[in-house]
Amino acid sequence: MGYKKDVIRGLSFIGSLRFLTKAVGFLETIILARILVPEQFGIYAIALLALGLLETITQTGVNVVLVQEKETDKYISSAWLISIVRGVVIMLVLLIAAPFIANFFRTPDAVTLLYWISIVPLMRGFINPAVVKLQKDLLFAKNFWYQMVILVIDTAVSIIATYLLNNPIGIVIGLLAGVIIELILSYMIVSPRPSFHFEKAYVSTIFHRGKWITGTAIFDYLFTNMDNIAVGRILGASSLGIYQLAYSLAVTPLVELGNAFNYVMFPIFSKLTHDRSRLRNAFIKMILGVAVLAIPFVIIFTVVPQIFVFILGEKWSAIISVLPILSLVGFMKAISNMASALFLSEIKQKYAMAITFVTAIGMFAPLIPLVQNYGIVGAAMAALIGSLVALPFYFYLVWQLLRKRV
């Protein structure tokens, strides 16, 4: 079977999954926005920022290594133990740092939420790493149902718990419910099951290759969240809640679109590394496919952003000013995901790290003065600048890879 059939089959399942995920997520966001106020959203955003930072700086790149290796099973137990240790470390750091994080953002109410969310990484650590085989072996149908069950449980519990408690803790409870289901399913639908032993050589391989994934993840986190950190610190939890909601509406759907193509194309690009002509054609077609699907989203957010205030309520009216800018950021992130898939398929993790470093620096340089002078609009402008600065580097590195001979 050629890669085109794999792409079509994969995108039909993964595309449907991503569409349903964002449709459900959009509905969940609207309902939660009706229940909560911007400041409560901001408190939840603070907890996510802290969790995201710790998960990022402890990123091991396990899943990428498992996809790259021809024989995955021998790495499963070692990968599992690494994930467990990582989860324990993140939980302990969150528990200790919670008061200091809340103090940094001048939001004492965030402490309780940070304690609750610290349970998430601990539980994630015990998920069977063999679930990566759903991607590696192109088992898109099974992966579709696996992800859908988790999504439905997470969303339903989040909405019900938040409504009953009238508190963002309800969202964390939903997140925990989703993780519990994922943990159970990971041992039911894939094999092998991990055991408590590891091979030093395998661990060394994971960390050797994973260091580039870690670096990439750190710089990508900085690019994705420096604006949130600046808004939360300088403007407060309420402004952070508004900015986060705008980001989830304008950027996240486009990033998820790119992620759907990335998920499908990474293993396929890996299979085409010795056929440069087919690799070039596949890459170009996927870039055009992402662009065609993403442009309508950008038009909606640019031309009629007022529709979202009508849906969400007047308390969220400030999002109108940032939605057009953030939609452009989302568009460029969706396109750049294709380059990342290409870099990983060529085992050029360092390229992805270099690009995300440039993007983060390009954003960081103007960030503080822009936020101080233009508020959340300034934060969105800084994110757009970072994306634009990185474009020439993307073009150059992609061209170098596609033109080389094997």
Higher pLDDT, 117 or 74: 117
| pLDDT value for 183 | 93
Which pair of tokens denotes residue 219?
């710089």
- pLDDT of 86 > 80? The answer is yes
d(CA 179, CA 18): 18
Long-range contacts of 109-113 (CB under 8 A, 24+ apart): 109/43, 110/43, 110/46, 110/47, 110/237, 112/169, 113/43, 113/44, 113/46, 113/47, 113/168, 113/169, 113/172
The four Cα atoms 215, 220, 223, 224 give a dihedral, to 10 degrees, of -140
| pLDDT value for 221 | 78
What would the pLDDT profile of 16-67 be if each residue is shown by its tens digit? 666 777 778 778 888 998 899 899 989 999 998 999 888 877 766 666 666 6
What would the pLDDT profile of 352-369 be if each residue is shown by its tens digit? 778 878 888 899 999 999
Q: CA of 301: how far to CAs of 163, 244, 246, 251, 294, in Å? A: 29, 15, 10, 10, 11
- pLDDT of 158 > 80? The answer is yes
Please tell me whether the peptide bond between 392 and the residue prior to it is cis, using omega within 30 degrees of 0: no
* Contact (CB, 8 A) for 376 and 231: yes
From the CB of residue 357, how many other CB atoms can be counted at a distance below 10 Å?
19
* Contact (CB, 8 A) for 75 and 60: no
| pLDDT value for 63 | 64
d(CA 231, CA 235): 5
From the CB of residue 220, how many other CB atoms can be counted at a distance below 10 Å?
22
Residue among 232, 262, 261 at smallest CA distance from 247? 232
* Contact (CB, 8 A) for 103 and 305: no
What would the pLDDT profile of 177-228 be if each residue is shown by its tens digit? 999 999 999 898 877 787 777 766 666 666 665 566 666 677 777 777 889 9
* Contact (CB, 8 A) for 38 and 316: yes
What would the pLDDT profile of 132-155 be if each residue is shown by its tens digit? 777 666 666 777 788 889 989 999
| pLDDT value for 370 | 96
* Contact (CB, 8 A) for 23 and 302: no
- pLDDT of 14 > 70? The answer is no
* Contact (CB, 8 A) for 261 and 11: yes
Average pLDDT, the chain: 83
Single-letter amino acid, residue 222:
L
CB-neighbour burial class of residue 191 (10 A; exposed 0-12, middle 13-18, buried 19+): exposed
Q: How confident is the model at residue 1 (pLDDT cuts 50, 70, 90)?
A: very low
- pLDDT of 92 > 70? The answer is yes
The enclosing H or E element of 85 equals helix 76-104
Which pair of tokens denotes residue 86?
């990582």
| pLDDT value for 8 | 58
- pLDDT of 167 > 70? The answer is yes
d(CA 10, CA 267): 11
| pLDDT value for 325 | 95
Q: How confident is the model at residue 77 (pLDDT cuts 50, 70, 90)?
A: confident
Mean pLDDT in residue range 345-356: 76
From the CB of residue 209, how many other CB atoms can be counted at a distance below 10 Å?
18
* CA angle, 148 then 154 then 159, to 5°: 125
Q: CA of 393: how far to CAs of 140, 332, 352, in Å? A: 32, 13, 10
* Contact (CB, 8 A) for 292 and 335: no
| pLDDT value for 214 | 67
| pLDDT value for 46 | 93
| pLDDT value for 61 | 63
d(CA 18, CA 12): 10
- pLDDT of 340 > 50? The answer is yes
| pLDDT value for 350 | 76
Higher pLDDT, 201 or 400: 400
What would the pLDDT profile of 239-291 be if each residue is shown by its tens digit? 999 999 999 888 888 887 777 777 677 777 777 777 778 888 888 888 888 88
| pLDDT value for 162 | 95
From the CB of residue 239, how many other CB atoms can be counted at a distance below 10 Å?
20
